[in-house]
């Protein structure tokens, strides 16, 4: 066989795994995007029922939460590192989702991403030392609550980047 053809065949077979891997990763990313859209923006609203701060997966309360629905179950099965990086990219997004967050308002896309990160890593944002002042802070109103405080953190570039770095560090 001609050396030229052998060289071309080798090149083809050496690049094929890269192409297959690239295609699979691209498909997985698109799949994660569409899954997140289904979770956050489905026409049927759902509620976290305060379960965004608990990791208990038992009981009637959990059965009624958004975390018990199939899209969330699928998200929890994705690669932790890829899902974390994907969600961290959403922290600055203030678009309102269709997920109700007790006590009073729908979650922003960034806020919902934090709640998903909490579930994946089993740590609440206020359990990081840098945000521990919020853990036992008195809630005085719906706006002066964990949800309100988190929204304020996400709207502040410096604080949001600090929170992002803390979740990213969990991947090390």
Note down the domain range covering 35. Answer: 3-169
Question: What is the predicted pLDDT for the residue at 15?
Answer: 53
Sign of CA dihedral 93, 95, 99, 101: positive
Question: What is the predicted pLDDT for the residue at 21?
Answer: 39
Which residues of the chain fall below pLDDT 50? 16, 18-28
Alpha-carbon distance values, 39 to 70, 72, 147, 165 (Å)? 9, 7, 19, 24
| Angle made by CA atoms 43, 124, 99, in degrees to the nearest 5 | 10
Question: What is the predicted pLDDT for the residue at 8?
Answer: 58
Instruction: Look over the chain and give the mean of its residue pLDDT values, rounded to a whole number.
Output: 83
- Taking the model in full, what pTM does it have? 0.79
Residues 101/106/109/111 CA torsion (nearest 10 deg): -40
Question: What is the predicted pLDDT for the residue at 22?
Answer: 42
Q: To the nearest whole percent, how much of the chain has pLDDT over 90?
A: 52
CB 118 within 8 A of CB 53: yes
Domain count along the chain: 1
């Amino acid at each position: 066989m001609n050396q030229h053809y052998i060289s071309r065949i080798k090149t083809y077979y050496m690049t094929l795994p890269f192409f297959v891997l690239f295609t699979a990763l691209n498909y997985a990313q698109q799949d994660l995007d569409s899954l997140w859209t289904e979770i956050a923006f489905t026409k049927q609203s759902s509620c976290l029922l305060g379960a965004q701060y608990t990791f208990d997966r038992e009981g009637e309360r959990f059965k009624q939460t958004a975390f018990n629905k199939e899209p969330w179950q699928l998200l929890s099965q994705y690669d932790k590192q890829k899902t974390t990086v994907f969600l961290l990219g959403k922290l600055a997004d203030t678009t309102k989702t269709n997920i109700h967050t007790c006590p009073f308002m729908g979650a922003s896309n960034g806020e919902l991403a934090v709640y998903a990160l909490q579930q994946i890593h089993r740590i609440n944002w206020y359990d990081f030392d840098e945000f521990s002042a919020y853990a036992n802070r008195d809630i005085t109103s719906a706006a002066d609550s964990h949800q309100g405080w988190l929204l304020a953190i996400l709207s502040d570039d410096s604080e949001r980047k600090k929170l992002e770095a803390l979740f990213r560090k969990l991947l090390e």
